[in-house]
């Protein structure tokens, strides 16, 4: 009855979708089946934190991912908050239970040799080809985000100082240096843009009609360009940002410097790239060392 009344509460008072309510029901039924197998005298009102921890361990042993276990645990938390509100229980047994930590996947990146092949290859001389190469180069050589690239104005690119000023998350601005190679690519792009567009442009990177680009368009052109050199499942602007960070660290850049260039608030966020570079180091070791 407790389970059924909770599901009705979700459906009629919380207005949850039928699919969500069914998912909650499956999670609660799975937990009930577990604790009945442990001790048939138990019910939802008498289980304790140890029983719930045992359930979590059993789910992990069955091969459930941490995200799936945490979702099931979230269903249980909602259920016991409801039982507390209804005064069915006086203590929430889930309160002291911690779910398994999600394993963070390593960032996907393109190897330096592949990026060299892409950027050193001959491209067309038409406006779109020149623009697309410039966009890929900016992502890879500055590490900026997709939203930051779309928001670039002509005034943000200072060729005399060799810097790009971007506005990142929470409107925080930062200045990123760039080298002679990227300067040349950008100058070629601007020359093509000024020849092609006879109206005032809304942004630094524009479409044929001089209007600012939109995220889906940039995403697609990056994907198409990366497809020429890699077969990665992910081929997005963010992969180029990961590639920038990885290349910097592989070439002895300091972690703090990479943090500032990427615009990260915390050094912890940047540290994930050290795991990426270590994975590369392991591959080199395994390929090169005769006893590996």
* Cα–Cα distances in angstroms (integers) from residue 188 to residues 92, 123, 185, 212, in the given order: 65, 12, 5, 19
For the cut 80, the answer to whether the pLDDT of residue 289 exceeds it is: no
Give the model confidence (pLDDT) of 140-155 as tens digits: 999 999 999 999 999 9
What is the number of other CB atoms lying within 10 angstroms of the CB of residue 149?
A: 23
Query: Burial code of 98-107, b = ≥16 C-beta within 10 A, e = fewer?
Result: ebbeeeeeeb
The last residue of a domain, from among 66, 85, 104: 85
- Give this prediction's pTM: 0.65
Asked whether residue 195 falls in the same domain as residue 133, the answer is: yes
Asked whether residue 203 falls in the same domain as residue 132, the answer is: yes
Q: What is the pLDDT of residue 292?
A: 58
Residue 97 lies in a domain: no
Which band of pLDDT confidence, cut at 50, 70 and 90, is reported for residue 199? confident
Arithmetic mean of pLDDT over the chain? 92
- Whichever domain contains 20, its CATH number is 1.10.150.130
Q: What is the pLDDT of residue 15?
A: 94
Asked whether residue 186 falls in the same domain as residue 55, the answer is: no
Residues 212-234 have a mean pLDDT of 95
**Cβ proximity of 182 and 195 under 8 Å:** no
* Cα–Cα distances in angstroms (integers) from residue 163 to residues 5, 105, 154, 187, in the given order: 62, 32, 12, 14
Asked whether residue 130 falls in the same domain as residue 257, the answer is: yes
Asked whether residue 118 falls in the same domain as residue 56, the answer is: no
* Cα–Cα distances in angstroms (integers) from residue 159 to residues 144, 180, 185, in the given order: 17, 10, 12
Asked whether residue 262 falls in the same domain as residue 190, the answer is: yes
For the cut 70, the answer to whether the pLDDT of residue 281 exceeds it is: no
For the cut 90, the answer to whether the pLDDT of residue 273 exceeds it is: no
Asked whether residue 80 falls in the same domain as residue 125, the answer is: no
CA distance linking residue 26 with residue 18, whole number of Å: 12
For the cut 70, the answer to whether the pLDDT of residue 285 exceeds it is: no
**Cβ proximity of 165 and 261 under 8 Å:** no
The radius of gyration of the chain from alpha carbons, rounded to an integer in Å, stands at 27
CA distance linking residue 89 with residue 48, whole number of Å: 11
Residues 235-243 have a mean pLDDT of 95
For the cut 90, the answer to whether the pLDDT of residue 250 exceeds it is: no
Residue 99 lies in a domain: no
Asked whether residue 143 falls in the same domain as residue 284, the answer is: yes
Sign of CA dihedral 123, 127, 128, 131: positive
**Full domain range(s) for residue 160:** 112-288
CA distance linking residue 280 with residue 284, whole number of Å: 6
206: three-class secondary structure by DSSP: strand
Sign of CA dihedral 162, 167, 169, 171: positive
Residue 271 lies in a domain: yes
Asked whether residue 122 falls in the same domain as residue 255, the answer is: yes
CA distance linking residue 55 with residue 47, whole number of Å: 11
Backbone angles phi, psi at 54, to 5 degrees: -60, -40
Give the model confidence (pLDDT) of 258-268 as tens digits: 999 999 988 88
According to DSSP, residue 212 is labeled B
CA distance linking residue 141 with residue 132, whole number of Å: 14
Q: Which residues are catalytic?
A: 145, 169, 238, 241, 264, 273
For the cut 90, the answer to whether the pLDDT of residue 124 exceeds it is: no
- Whichever domain contains 153, its CATH number is 1.10.443.10
For the cut 80, the answer to whether the pLDDT of residue 283 exceeds it is: no
Asked whether residue 118 falls in the same domain as residue 233, the answer is: yes
Q: For residue 151, give every residue at least 6 positions away whose Cβ sits within 8 Å of its Cβ, in sequence order, or none.
A: 166, 167, 203
Domain total of the chain: 2
Residues 242-257 have a mean pLDDT of 91
């Amino acid at each position: 009855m407790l389970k059924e009344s909770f599901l009705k509460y979700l459906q009629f008072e919380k207005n949850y979708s039928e699919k969500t309510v069914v998912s909650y029901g499956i999670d609660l039924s799975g937990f009930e089946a577990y604790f009945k197998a442990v001790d048939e005298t138990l019910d939802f009102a008498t289980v304790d934190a140890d029983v719930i921890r045992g359930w979590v361990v059993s789910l992990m042993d069955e091969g459930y991912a941490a995200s799936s276990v945490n979702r099931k645990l979230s269903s249980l938390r909602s259920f016991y908050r409801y039982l507390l509100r209804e005064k069915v229980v006086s203590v929430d047994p889930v309160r002291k239970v911690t779910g398994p930590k999600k394993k963070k996947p390593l960032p996907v990146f393109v190897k330096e040799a592949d990026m060299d092949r892409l950027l050193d290859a001959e491209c067309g001389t038409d406006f779109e080809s020149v623009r697309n190469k410039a966009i890929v180069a900016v992502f890879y050589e500055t590490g900026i985000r997709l939203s930051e690239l779309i928001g670039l104005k002509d005034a943000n690119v200072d060729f005399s100082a060799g810097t790009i000023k971007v506005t990142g998350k929470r409107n925080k601005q930062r200045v990123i240096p760039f080298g002679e190679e990227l300067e040349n690519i950008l100058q070629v792009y601007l020359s093509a843009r000024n020849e092609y567009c006879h109206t005032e442009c809304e942004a630094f990177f524009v479409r044929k009609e001089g209007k600012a680009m939109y995220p889906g368009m940039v995403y697609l052109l990056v994907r198409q360009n990366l497809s020429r050199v890699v077969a990665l499942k992910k081929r997005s602007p963010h992969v180029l940002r990961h590639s920038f960070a990885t290349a910097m660290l592989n070439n002895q850049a300091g972690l703090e410097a990479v943090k500032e260039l990427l615009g990260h608030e915390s050094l912890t966020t940047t540290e994930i790239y050290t795991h990426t570079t270590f994975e590369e180091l392991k591959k080199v070791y395994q390929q090169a060392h005769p006893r590996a």
